[in-house]
Amino acid sequence: MTYPGRLHNSSKRYQAAHPISQVRALKAVNKELISLYWDIGQMIIDRQEGKTWGKSVVE
């Protein structure tokens, strides 16, 4: 069996044995993305309230 074939088989075995781990990893990534988007939104609100919107907000 070739290396790519072995790698594919190993990956498939891991996925079959660890679906819960994958779900947990996806939840962790989603949590971090939501936090990032929240922070970006808060930064925009702060800039709008400070009337600095449009004055090199994006640098």
pLDDT in tens, 1-59: 787 788 778 877 777 767 777 788 889 999 999 999 999 999 888 887 876 666 565 55
Which residues contact residue 36 at a Cβ distance below 8 angstroms, ignoring those fewer than 6 apart? Answer: none
Domain that holds residue 59: 19-59
**Predicted local confidence at residue 9, as pLDDT:** 80
13 part of a folded domain: no
> Between helices 3-17 and 19-49, what is the axis angle to 10°?
80
Give the whole-angstrom CA distance, residue 34 versus residue 27: 10
What is the model's pTM? Answer: 0.54
Range list of H helices, 2-18: 3-17
Q: How many domains does the chain have?
A: 1
2 part of a folded domain: no
53 part of a folded domain: yes
